[in-house]
Amino acid sequence: MSADQRRDAVTAPGFSLNTRKTGSSGWLERPPLDHIVMGVAILAFLIAFPFFNPGYRFLSLAITTGFTAIALYGLALQFGQAGIMSVGHAGIMGIGGYTAAILANQLGIGFWLALPASILLSALAAGLVGLPSLRVGGQHYIIITFCFCALLVIALTNGGDFTGAATGLDVGPIAGPFGINLAKLRNMYYLVMLALVVSLVLTYVIVHSPYGRTLWAIRENEPLARAVGINTNFHKIGVFALSGAFAGAAGILQTYYLRHISPPLYGAFPSLYLALMVMLGGARPLYGPLLGAIIVTFLPEVGGLDPIDSRIAYGVGLLLVILLLPAGVSGGLLGLYRSMIGRQRRAEKG
């Protein structure tokens, strides 16, 4: 990314995560109006979606999109804010998923009690996997995360009855509060969407808090960050752990949605897909990860592509995005919105 592009991304109005309104005295300033409008529109759509009679297939895809997007918000924090990409994110989801499944199978612990355990263990695992990033950067670190996924799959496959080996583990349905039946697809959809909205809000808050600014400073100029007293290593591991917490929540939701998990779900390939989605959608605009998840999840269905075709489409799509829209599809849309606003303003000035 050239300095100019970065500057553009930074000064862009609208839905970018990094449009920081400065000068307010509060800890967290009120989001600008277009953020709120967009947020309400998305929320309304999410609530209304099941009433359009999407059918079993599309509702399932929407749920998949939901928990995938939650994991992507974690990856977007790590990649977009701290500038460190990883292809081990599905592995971290797996830690969350298997934590829940093992707790259910060994101790009979259900979804709600397992939820904090999954989040915590995933955060811990992500922090540990993040440690080498303090020494190796860029593509070298990506290879390490790739190896983590491969090792995790081997470990899970050889875990005997404890991990269910290659067959994996089953879990029961979520015991819904107030007698809500979460085995019903529509209710599961609302649970996942609730979690997605929470993730979105959390991401917004993190990015716009002083902590987000600290992460940004580290990404922009690490030596200077250290020179003014920022414990950069601590914050980098911290953002990995945070990213892992999102993945953990996504992992347990996936587990209780599928009701059966097995090692291949968490290998290097699913991880690559997550990385693809973040880059496709755009890591830094607030709705980028969501857009990435929607595109990749729905593309084969809507476009009628078989698995081989869709892989080719993803590959070509990713190349096009990297070449033409370095800030992702959402970044490209943002640019379009910006130039339209600019043209309108110029027209008004006449």
Partner 1 sequence: MVAARLEITGLRKKFGGVVALAGVDVSIDGSGITGIIGPNGSGKTTLFNVVTGAHKPTAGRVTWNGQDITALPAYRIARLGLVRTFQQAMSYPGLSVRDNVSIGFEHGRSIGSTDRRWRSPDEVLAFVGLDGLGEEVAGSMSFGNLRRLGIAVALAADPVLLLLDEPAAGLSDSEAGDLRELILRFPKMGIGVCLIDHDMALMGAVCDHFIVLNFGTKIAEGAPAEVLQNAKVLEVYLGVDL
Residues that bind partner 1 (CB under 8 A): 3, 6-7, 9-11, 18, 20, 22-23, 210, 213-214, 216-217, 220-221, 223-233
Residue nearer to partner 1 on the CB measure, 187 or 233: 233
Compare residues 235 and 311 and give the one whose CB is closer to partner 1. Answer: 235
* DSSP-assigned states of every residue in 186-236: HHHHHHHHHHHHHHHHHHHHHHHSHHHHHHHHHHH-HHHHHHTT--HHHHH
As beta bridge partners, residue 16 has: 285
For residue 236, the minimal CB distance to partner 1 (Å) is: 12
Both tokens of residue 120?
């915590």
Which alpha helices (DSSP H) does the chain contain, by range? Answer: 3-11, 33-48, 55-76, 89-102, 111-130, 138-157, 160-163, 185-208, 210-220, 222-227, 232-258, 268-281, 288-303, 307-324, 328-349
Minimum CB distance to partner 1, residue 193 (Å): 33
Angle between helical axes of 138-157 and 89-102 (0-180°, round to 10): 30
Specify which residues 285 forms β-bridges with: 16
Q: Is 25 or 53 the residue whose CB approaches partner 1 more closely?
A: 25
User: Smallest gap, in angstroms, from Cβ of residue 50 to partner 1?
Assistant: 41
Q: Which is nearer to partner 1, 166 or 224 (CB)?
A: 224
Residue 241 burial class via C-beta count within 10 angstroms: exposed 0-12, middle 13-18, buried 19 and up: buried
- State the nearest-atom distance from the C-beta of 10 to partner 1, in Å: 5
**Minimum distance from residue 97 beta carbon to partner 1 (Å):** 36
Question: What is the Cα 325 distance to its own chain's centre?
Answer: 19
Nearer to partner 1 (CB atom), residue 191 or residue 286 = 286
Q: How far is CA 38 from its chain centroid?
A: 19
Residue with Cβ nearer partner 1 (186 or 219): 219
Contacts of 306 by beta carbon, 8 Å cutoff, 6+ apart: 300
- The distance of closest approach from Cβ of residue 4 to partner 1 in the complex, given in angstroms and rounded to an integer, is 9
